[in-house]
Amino acid sequence: MLFFGWNKIIYLKSFFIAKKLGIKTILRVETNLNSKIFFIKKLLKFFLLTIFFKFIDYFIYIGKLNKEFYIKHRVPPKKLFYAPYFVDNSFFDKENFDKNKLKKKYNLNYKKIVLFVGKFIERKKPINFLNIAKKFKKKKNIHFLMIGSGVLIDKCKFYLKKNNLNNVSIIGFQNQKQLREYYLISDVLILPSEYETWGLVINEAMASGMPVISTNQCGGTVDLVKNNNTGFSYDKNDSKTLFNRLNILLKNDQKVKKIKKNIKLHISKFTYETTINSLNKIIYGQ
């Protein structure tokens, strides 16, 4: 029986039924040690999970930080199986398309595009994205796109008006097919989140062949974003480093070309096949 958490009654009921019937259990969650909770709560959670994990037969981990989380809670390495977080890479990887024609469709021809994809909530730090856009205000050939919706969207629109930013467009929510087009016309994805268990937009952007700049508080950053190789990481409060690294990707076409080659190779390892192989090893001992 495969579980995707422990925070719902249905999970706990199913777990106790599995134990009663002698059914093997597998746990797969996204949690890592970077989550921000109060010390007492963290200590209590550590104690309870360490006990709970003793009764789980197998664990599949999505990345390095997730694996560290299990090891910290004293899960034996022999119980751990790798199942990387993935998207359908083939859906986002469209090599035979006319980028300039697609940019023209959205009236963004002859511009380099910096992308934000996510909910407009405090944890995602959309205002930090706008702060960087403000620094490029006078660069007519660079445009910033924001895709998503949420409680901070009006605050972001007010920020644009207050600072007279004409180099930013807030697109709103887009379905997957529309989103894919925005990935394909964009040059850099910025993920400024204060915290992410993973950050699946990194996978989506890289599957589209796009370099990523993300904070070091995102689980996916550790596994996917390699400095000077597939993109750049930065401290969530270090806007200077973010600015400098964005400049590199917007100005150095040769470096970007090399990074894109690295991205294609690296993201090809993050597929559902690896997860299937791990499950086969657990179930069949293959």
Q: What's the confidence (pLDDT) of residue 36?
A: 65
In this structure, the answer to whether residues 104 and 218 fall within a common structural domain is: yes
In this structure, the answer to whether residues 80 and 145 fall within a common structural domain is: no
In this structure, the answer to whether residues 166 and 258 fall within a common structural domain is: yes
Q: What's the confidence (pLDDT) of residue 193?
A: 96
In this structure, the answer to whether residues 246 and 276 fall within a common structural domain is: no
The b/e string for 202-214 (b: 16+ C-beta within 10 A; e otherwise) is bbbbbbbbbbbbb
In this structure, the answer to whether residues 247 and 275 fall within a common structural domain is: no
In this structure, the answer to whether residues 24 and 37 fall within a common structural domain is: yes
Q: Degrees (nearest 5) of the Cα angle 61, 64, 66?
A: 45
Q: What domain count does the chain have?
A: 2
In this structure, the answer to whether residues 159 and 172 fall within a common structural domain is: yes
In this structure, the answer to whether residues 166 and 24 fall within a common structural domain is: no
CATH number of domain containing 203: 3.40.50.2000
CA 71, CA 36: separation in Å to the nearest integer?
19
In this structure, the answer to whether residues 113 and 214 fall within a common structural domain is: yes
Q: Mean pLDDT for each 10-residue chunk of the chain (286 residues)?
A: 93 94 95 71 84 96 95 96 94 80 86 96 96 94 96 96 95 93 95 95 96 96 96 94 95 93 95 92 86
Q: What's the confidence (pLDDT) of residue 85?
A: 93
In this structure, the answer to whether residues 53 and 93 fall within a common structural domain is: no
In this structure, the answer to whether residues 161 and 250 fall within a common structural domain is: yes
In this structure, the answer to whether residues 181 and 245 fall within a common structural domain is: yes
Residue numbers of the domain that contains 108: 89-267
